[in-house]
Chain A
Amino acid sequence: MRIWLEKQLHLIDFTLASLARRKSKNIGLLAVYALLVFALASVGLFANALRSEASFVLASSPEVILQRLVAGRHDLIPPGYLEKIGRIRGVQKQEGRLWGYYYDAVVKANYTFMARPAEEIAPGSIAIGATLARLRGLAPGNVISFRAYGGKLFTFRIASLLSPDAELLSADLVLLAEADFRAFFDYPAGHYTDIALSVANPQEVRNIAGKLSQALPDSRPILREEVLRTYQSMFDWREGIMLTILAGAIFAFIILAWEKAAGLSAEERKEIGILKAIGWETGDVIRMKLWEGLLVSLAAFLIGFIAAYIHVFYCGASLLEPVLKGWSVLYPRFTLIPAVDGMQVASLAFFTIFPYCAAVLVPIWRAAITDPDSVMRA
């Protein structure tokens, strides 16, 4: 065991020395390799951060949202619906919600206006998302005016900024008092946008949804878990699309790796011949070369991954934003919450180290079976 370990150390030593001796050749490969890891890791980390951002936001949203449908289109909840639902076992709380979109011509962006009970937001004041505040240069205490769709001008005082923790989804959010909301949008009294229900036991959610559809046949219950699933598959899908596009890059890299490994210079070939002649076994040469591959892979992986981490979490994934995010005009400029999961690192390693190793296996073997007597026959 100790001999084996010592031998591997010798092989690593030798490999490091020979990598250092052929710097220019290896640095090129390392750079391309690290770039590939960087691209893939950026996509993965970014999609994952968005995923966890979304589930973080959804964690505090209600389990079931009830919408009314008229002719298959989303319509307002008329008065009396809340009462019609009555008491359903397992529902902790049910409330009508008021929200809508507002287009701000000044910054050419859509905001989401949402009414909150008077205890949370005093009439005449609003709470806004951090991105919006940055965009319009607002701070708590400032005053802002919006022209309603009816043409009337409303003025609000900024009471507070929303927590930047989940900036992605609160970026365009404006919270205001119920009375203000109804006045601003000229919303019919007693009507709501939708109904939110809180359910404690996740196992009950589907039963309750069933009961709701029975009680109110013209309504559509939307489950939080379904929204979460939709988000997940949407992010997965986008990530998959990106990776498919990058598959071309992976393929090109495999060819490069193969070629670099197969295209040994005459000097390297001679070196392996010398090693074989002076007592290295084919297996030793293969092992030495595998160590080389592993060290290069690890170095590239580390460099690429760390660079991607910085890119995504400190530079806001500036290179990817338009592709993976971009469902709103209002790009939130925020730092994502660093989220790395083991599976992601594992699959990333799989996507990069595995093809590299598979590509160099045969060339390594080809080089290693050089005749030991070749140096004497030359």
Chain B
Amino acid sequence: MLFQPAIIALLLASAVGLLMLLASAPFALRIIARWDIRSGSEAQLALERGTYLLSTVLSFIFTVQLAKLLLFVFTADRLAVMFVGAMCAVGTLNVNEYGFPALLGQILVFFLAAMWLAINHVDAQARDYPLVRIKYWLLLALLPVLAVCFWLEFQYFRGLKANVITSCCGSLFSAEGKGLSGEASAMAAGPAMLLFYPAQLLAVAAAVWQWRRPGRWAAYATALGSAIAFVAAISGILAFVSLYIYEHPHHHCPFCILKSEYAYQGYALYLPLFVAAACGLAVGAIQPFARVVSLQSVIPTVSRRLAALAALGFALFAALASYQVLNSNLILFER
């Protein structure tokens, strides 16, 4: 393992998040077993007060997760110097087989936490807290996910040893490369655009539909559209957006755009993308409970707001990506 401050910070943060959730597990079990909203007993009051702690803890983990995601990519990028052949974060993440799974795990935890918080939010607006048990079951389900992510991250950092020959973005994301990332960028810019724009459009359309007329189909369409648009967006960044930003026909790297050399343009792209995808997925996460009596007026309101955010986010993302493509000096297609 490399003895690096940022690595220690990352592992520490993951460990603390995991421990916090682990410490709240017994409480979650108690809620599942003993919750009785009708009762005014002191035990029930104590349970209700405990729920405040858990939502605060989860919001905390969620915020930390977002910061961690950035720090993780940042760290990987800076460590690139330590590995032969690695020139940016991609190379570092490829040093061992845990790198990319660890990154994907972080993204997954981020989205799952966002969905849980959405469910928590609607539940807290209904006077009878109808989703309390479901919520805490879900929280318990989140625990192993967090544990696995911590394990992946730990394995990854433990396996980091300087001087291992790795591929860098030049080879991993070049057309000969194998694996998912290779395939995505092996897709020529043309077809990638044909996937990219319809997917964004679909997500925006579904979200606008849900915003105009909230309903079951529209909600699930929004969630599905968001998921597809997120994947399409990442493939699009790999396949052509990054090329235009780097103004280099073979530099397919999703991380270098976060660097100062490229004026931090990556943040402008990823921020709306992640917010939009989180909101879109959250719309789907709360929809199954729309029929609960006390939530009938709450869910459409919240759902509409989330859908509006998702639509705005995806639209903004697509617009920014297009702007970067149009403003680039790189010419991939002859007119």
A and B touch in the complex (CB under 8 A): yes
**Would you list which residues of chain A between 295 and 353 have a CB under 8 Å from chain B?**
341-343, 346-347, 349-351
Contact of B52 among A283, A349, A357 (CB under 8 A): A283
A350 touches B13 (CB 8 A): yes
B189 smallest CB distance to A (angstroms): 25
B163 is an interface residue with CB less than 8 A from chain A: yes
Q: How many A-B residue pairs have CB under 8 A?
A: 83
B8 touches A240 (CB 8 A): yes
B60 is an interface residue with CB less than 8 A from chain A: yes
B82 touches A229 (CB 8 A): yes
Contact of B4 among A206, A240, A350, A351 (CB under 8 A): A240
B71 touches A369 (CB 8 A): no
Q: A347-B71, A354-B64 are in contact. Are A362 and B9 (CB under 8 A)?
A: no
B60 touches A357 (CB 8 A): yes
Nearest-CB residue, chain B, relative to A366: B53
A368 is an interface residue with CB less than 8 A from chain B: yes
B162 touches A229 (CB 8 A): yes
B52 touches A347 (CB 8 A): no
B124 smallest CB distance to A (angstroms): 8
B333 is an interface residue with CB less than 8 A from chain A: no
Stretch at the interface among A102-110, A174-182, A231-239: A231-239
Residues 39-68 of chain B, each 1 if its beta carbon lies under 8 Å from chain A, else 0: 000000000010011001100100010010
A361 touches B60 (CB 8 A): yes
Q: A233-B162, A358-B16, A362-B53 are in contact. Are A346 and B74 (CB under 8 A)?
A: yes
B49 touches A44 (CB 8 A): no
Contact of B2 among A233, A358, A368 (CB under 8 A): A233
B52 touches A368 (CB 8 A): yes
Contact of A282 among B3, B12, B49, B74 (CB under 8 A): B49
A225 touches B84 (CB 8 A): yes
A229 touches B52 (CB 8 A): no
A236 touches B3 (CB 8 A): yes
B6 is an interface residue with CB less than 8 A from chain A: yes
A243 is an interface residue with CB less than 8 A from chain B: yes
B82 touches A233 (CB 8 A): yes
CA distance A229 to B85 in the complex (A): 12
A365 touches B20 (CB 8 A): no
A121 smallest CB distance to B (angstroms): 33
Q: A358-B16, A365-B52 are in contact. Are A346 and B162 (CB under 8 A)?
A: no
A343 touches B52 (CB 8 A): no
Q: A229-B81, A239-B5, A361-B57 are in contact. Are A343 and B16 (CB under 8 A)?
A: no
Nearest-CB residue, chain B, relative to A357: B60
B56 touches A347 (CB 8 A): no
**Would you list which residues of chain B between 234 and 271 have a CB under 8 Å from chain A?**
260
A16 is an interface residue with CB less than 8 A from chain B: no
**Residues of chain A contacted by B163 (CB below 8 angstroms):** 229
Contact of B5 among A44, A229, A232, A283 (CB under 8 A): A44
B302 smallest CB distance to A (angstroms): 13
**Residues of chain B contacted by A277 (CB below 8 angstroms):** none
CA distance A369 to B13 in the complex (A): 27
**Residues of chain A contacted by B78 (CB below 8 angstroms):** 341, 343
What does DSSP make chain B's interface, helix, strand, loop or mixed?
A: helix
B77 smallest CB distance to A (angstroms): 8
Residues 67-92 of chain B, each 1 if its beta carbon lies under 8 Å from chain A, else 0: 10011001101100110100000000
Number of interface residues of B (CB under 8 A): 32
A169 is an interface residue with CB less than 8 A from chain B: no
A286 is an interface residue with CB less than 8 A from chain B: yes
Nearest-CB residue, chain A, relative to B51: A282
Contact of B67 among A240, A346, A369 (CB under 8 A): A346
A228 touches B64 (CB 8 A): no
Contact of A358 among B8, B49, B53, B60 (CB under 8 A): B60
Nearest-CB residue, chain B, relative to A290: B56
**Residues of chain A contacted by B77 (CB below 8 angstroms):** 343
B84 touches A369 (CB 8 A): no
**Residues of chain A contacted by B10 (CB below 8 angstroms):** 350
CA distance A121 to B53 in the complex (A): 72
CA distance A230 to B2 in the complex (A): 12
B71 touches A346 (CB 8 A): yes
CA distance A232 to B163 in the complex (A): 12
A342 touches B260 (CB 8 A): yes
CA distance A212 to B67 in the complex (A): 46
A369 touches B49 (CB 8 A): yes
CA distance A342 to B74 in the complex (A): 9
Residues 356-378 of chain A, each 1 if its beta carbon lies under 8 Å from chain B, else 0: 01100110110011000000000
Instruction: Offer 5 A-B interface pairs, CB within 8 angstroms, sorted by A.
Output: A228-B81, A346-B67, A347-B5, A350-B6, A358-B16
Interface positions of A (Cβ within 8 A of B):
44, 206, 225, 228-229, 232-233, 236-237, 239-241, 243, 282-283, 286, 290, 341-343, 346-347, 349-351, 354, 357-358, 361-362, 364-365, 368-369
Which 10 A-B pairs rank lowest in CB-CB distance, beginning with the nearest? A240-B3, A343-B74, A369-B49, A347-B6, A365-B53, A350-B9, A347-B9, A236-B4, A282-B52, A243-B5
